[in-house]
Chains A and B, each alone.
Chain A
Amino acid sequence: MNRLTSTALVSTLTMLGGLSAASAEEINALVWCDHSDPALIEPFEKATGIKVNLKEYEGTAAGLAILDQSQPGDWDVMVIDAVDVGRAVDQGLLAELPADKLATADFFPETVMAANNTRDGKTYAVTEKFGYNTVAFNKSKVDPADMEDMATLTSGKYDGRIAIYDYYLPVLGELSMAAGVPTAEMTPASLDALKPSLMALRKASKSVSDVVASQTALATGEVDILVGGGEWLTAVLHAENPDLDWTIPKQGAVRWAQSLAVLAGSKKQDDALKFINYVTSPEGQARLATSSCYWGMPANKKAGDVLTTEQKAVLRWDQQADYLAKTQLYPVPDAALDKQMQDMWTEMLQN
């Protein structure tokens, strides 16, 4: 980041902070691990004087369970899967955001996601980051052309050299797209039909692993391909091993997007909004996009003015139009379909 952008960052944060810099305000945020990077949080805290207490969680079900066990007001801000915002709105968990005070005009059009973040004309969340669950691989070990077709993965050529990212929604979504069923149209019957391809993928794979184990497996050469991986996984390893790459196969891939929302019970909604405005500002977006936990594309395209050329190359900034067209959002299963998906996933793990 050059001096100009640093100055811009300080100015923005000072404006956001206003007079509250002198006070000792605190907000409590339920977040994903990318928000725990001090490089993201500290500039906000210094500029505004608002301390951000972070609690990490994984998976919407776990986040909603935490809220269920908390008192209204315990939490002020929440990061949530963009496709699950509606579920949280249904439960009355999210506060309406002032649409005119959000930076969505600067967003990539596909990342505004009004269908997910708004309800009846009211905005309840704002997209902050997105990326792809697709196929990541080591291009020095596999033929990149093979990675353009999902069918190659179960052809026998790469048996024992594949890891599966341990999250049922994107992987089942990818398989569903490969079977010709859009993620938004998955049904119990279409899911049942995916079982043979899921089991075939499991048979060809060496492990089913979480984020850290997946990164370790790719970095150490334990596996050469990660189904469900993408820039969010390989970008942080890029400097160490430039051979780690990713692509979107011809069948397409699943697009993840995370949103930021203010909790309805929050007694510090102004401070929470300041935090949201910071994270969705070009400077905050650049820091979030390159967080030490995982990278991802910023929703605000003005972050491109802050990111370096090299960072943008790793994020494939210039190919986003094509990628956005080839990908679909995560499946949004109802409770019954979600249970069926998880049961199938557990069965796959135990086989």
Chain B
Amino acid sequence: MASIEQTERNRAAGFVAPALIWVLAFFVLPFAVMIGMSFARLEGRTIVHGLFSDNYVRFFSEPSLFKGLTVSLEITLIVTVISVLLAYPLAWIIAMRVPARYQRLALMLAVLPFWTSYVVRSYAWLLVLGQNGVINKALMGLGVIAEPLAIASTRTATVIGFVHFFVMLLTLTIYANLIQLSPNYARAAADLGASAFATFRHIILPLTLPGVVTGAFLTFVLCIGDYITPQILGGNSELTLPQLIMLQLGRRGDFPMASALSIVLMAVVTLAYLACARWLKLDRV
């Protein structure tokens, strides 16, 4: 009996081992190296290893560095809120109003922009939002504005670029949640005299909240760690944390400072996870 249990245990360990080795080799070990590097210091052009807190002290004391975090958080929160507000109705229409046989087509159309390169899409937005871009030309043609709006190379451009991407992602996660809901819930609520709004407020929304939170969390994580969109669309009008990290690596060769900033970024993501862990149901995505 004992030997059967032992065999089972060995077999289970055998199944788990590859994943465990993978995580150790490609997450735990690099993460440990990064933590160690964040406590090193750049002296002149040489990295001195040790337990120095300089990088963290500098991050919290230098306004130009700390502002990277506040800018990142502000942009990420704005993007997440706008994306949820746009994606929920879109997902709801696809799940509830579009006939089942057309839903696949509707979803394909919704994710169509995913088919183009992320970088190309960002540069395309730069052209669309420019002084002589489609938006300004259309508004001026309609007589809405007399002078072109300065949208490109601003935070607004960064937010638009992000929202365009994340609305698609959120639509998929929220749709996956909505489609699992039995229509009987709404019918039962209607039988009991609930209005459409009350049904949504008290039945549909709470049941789809895990999908919304999961999508919002993914949006938060991907948005706060993104370098390309603010770099291309933001015109360096302000720097996000990933841009500051790239600056340390590409310009200064300051790996310790880049590591410290990366740890701060990971800490923020961890806090965000803990804040919404209660509602996170990744299996629903």
A and B: real partners?
A: yes
Which of B65, B123, B251 neighbours the largest number of chain A CB atoms within 10 Å of its CB?
B251
Q: By the criterion CB–CB under 8 Å, are A346 and B235 in contact? A: no
A160 x B238 contact (CB < 8 A): no
Q: With the chains together, A160 CA to B150 CA distance in Å?
A: 9
Interface size class of A (residues with CB under 8 A): 20 to 34
A293 contacts chain B at the CB level, 8 A cutoff: no
Within B230-253, the residues touching A (CB, 8 Å) are 231-232, 235-239, 244, 247, 249-253
The reply to whether A65 and B251 form a contact with Cβ atoms under 8 Å apart is no
Name the A residues within 8 Å of B253 (CB-CB). 61-62, 64-65, 68
List the B residue with the shortest CB-CB distance to A347. B64
**Chain A residues whose C-beta falls within 8 Å of the C-beta of B251 in the assembled complex:** 59, 61-62, 168, 342
Contact B132 A221 (CB under 8 A): yes
Query: With A65-B255, A206-B150, A222-B131 in contact, is A213–B249 under 8 Å at CB?
Result: no
Question: Are A217's CB and B153's CB within 8 A?
Answer: yes
Given A64-B45, A220-B130, A347-B64, A206-B235 contact (CB < 8 Å): yes
Residue among A206, A212, A217, A350 making CB contact with B239, cutoff 8 Å: A350
Contact pattern, B 23-56, Cβ under 8 Å of A = 1, otherwise 0: 0000000000000000000001100000000000
CB of B250 within 8 A of CB of A346, answer: no
Which residue of B130, B133, B239 is within 8 Å of A349 (Cβ)?
B239
- List B residues at the A interface (Cβ < 8 Å): 44-45, 62-65, 67-68, 123, 126-127, 130-133, 150, 152-153, 231-232, 235-239, 244, 247, 249-253, 255
Question: What is the bound-complex CA distance between A89 and B158, given in angstroms?
Answer: 42
Q: Which positions 295-351 of chain A face chain B at CB distance < 8 Å?
A: 335-336, 339, 342-343, 346-347, 349-350
- The answer to whether A6 has its CB under 8 Å from any CB of chain B is no
Q: Mark A133-174, 1 if CB is under 8 A from B, else 0.
A: 000000000000000000000000000100100101000000
Q: Is A58 an interface residue (CB 8 A)?
A: yes
| Chain B residues positioned under 8 Å from A160 (CB to CB) | 150
Q: Which of B45, B133, B244 contacts A61 (CB 8 A)?
A: B45
A220 to B132, CA, bound (A): 7
User: Quick one: closest A residue to B255, CB to CB?
Assistant: A65
Say which residue of B64, B67, B249, B255 sits within 8 Å of A343 (CB atoms). Answer: B64
By a CB distance below 8 angstroms, the chain B residues around A346 are 64-65, 239, 244, 247
Q: Complex Cα distance A280/B252, Å?
A: 30
Given contacts A65-B253, A346-B247, A347-B63, 20 further A-B contacts (CB under 8 A): A59-B250, A59-B251, A61-B252, A61-B253, A64-B253, A68-B253, A160-B150, A163-B235, A166-B236, A207-B153, A209-B235, A212-B123, A217-B153, A220-B126, A220-B131, A222-B130, A335-B45, A342-B252, A350-B63, A350-B64
Q: How far is the CA of A96 from the CA of B63 in the complex (A)?
A: 45
A189 to chain B, nearest CB (A): 20
State the Cβ distance, A337 to closest chain B Cβ, in Å: 11
